[in-house]
Amino acid sequence: MKTITYKQSNTHTKIKNNMKNNKVFIALFLLVSVFAACKKDKVELAGPTITGLEVGHENNKTAYPGTDIHIEAAIVAAANIAKVTLEIHPVTDGGWEYKEEYTEGFAGQKNADFHKHIDVPADAALGMYHIHLSVTDQQGNVTEVESQLEIKFDPTLPLATGFEVGLNAAGNDLHLEASINAVNKIAKVVVEVHGPAWEKEFEFTDAAMVGQTTYNFHKHVNVGAAPAGHYHVHLKIIDQAGKENEFEEHFDKK
């Protein structure tokens, strides 16, 4: 009896190979489609913006040793803020340097007002400085703005030494005390108390104080309406030549 062997035709083999190739192509196509869809779903938000940078009183870009420098800006971050970094360094070698990263009150926010008072050391070298304010969002985007700052000496500026604040146990009375010296004579004193959800300004023009070159400033202000939180207290002294100087303290209300 003869054994008959059937040979598979070349046409049939080609069809099977084509089917395999088609399956591989379809699988690759689906994989690429899924990857493209995932990539499309991941929206890249615009980087943060910093506007209205203000350095010093009325943006005068000037600071004095032994006082503080006011720095303010408006921040918007569509991808939410991760951190804010402030750096101050001299234009030339040698001088005061400052660097601080801020997350509290900023991290996770889309909009924030950056408002800080930075103490300038009494021995800070006079001269020109650079200020860098940068914002990093939660996607890793970084935006930076710059400004100049001049640290100079003015012996006629009004000064406050021994500035202290204290809150009573009831949380409604804030005690303020400082020794004021003003070569050009005191015109008025302004106290500003501000926190995340409350702020108030108090102005003092006591007859016993106005026109004096030295004065022991001792006041009590009502902060009973302020909710619990961390507060900044700014003591601003304005003299009769129109010069002013500002000093800062802090307190917590529980």
Q: Please give the pLDDT value at position 29.
A: 59
**In a domain? residue 237:** yes
Residues 139, 83 within the same domain: yes
CATH number at residue 71: 2.60.40.3880
- Is-contact 214 179, C-beta < 8 A? yes
Q: Please give the pLDDT value at position 3.
A: 44
Helix/strand/coil for 199: strand
Collect all residues with Cβ–Cβ distance below 8 Å to 226 and sequence separation of at least 6.
193, 195, 198, 200, 253
Count CB-CB contacts under 10 A for residue 125: 13
How far apart are alpha carbons 114 and 112 in whole angstroms?
6
Q: Please give the pLDDT value at position 57.
A: 86
> What is the layout of strands, in order, in the sheet containing 142-151?
62-63, 142-151, 127-137, 81-90, 98-102
Residues 131, 221 within the same domain: no
Q: Please give the pLDDT value at position 26.
A: 60
How far apart are alpha carbons 42 and 38 in whole angstroms?
7
Q: Please give the pLDDT value at position 20.
A: 56
- Is-contact 126 151, C-beta < 8 A? yes
Residues 34, 73 within the same domain: no
CATH number at residue 230: 2.60.40.10
Q: Please give the pLDDT value at position 136.
A: 98
Domains in the chain, number: 3
Q: Which residue in the block uniquely carries the two structure tokens 């340097």? A: 97
> Residue-wise pLDDT tens for the chain (254 aa)?
444 444 455 555 554 555 555 555 565 655 555 555 554 555 788 999 999 999 998 899 999 998 889 999 999 999 999 999 999 999 998 899 999 999 999 999 999 999 999 999 989 999 999 999 999 999 999 999 999 999 999 999 999 999 999 999 999 999 999 999 999 999 999 999 999 899 999 999 999 999 999 999 999 999 999 999 999 999 999 999 998 888 999 999 99
pTM (whole model) above 0.95: no
Range of the domain at 85: 49-151
Q: Please give the pLDDT value at position 32.
A: 54
Name residue 149's amino acid: L
- Is-contact 188 212, C-beta < 8 A? no
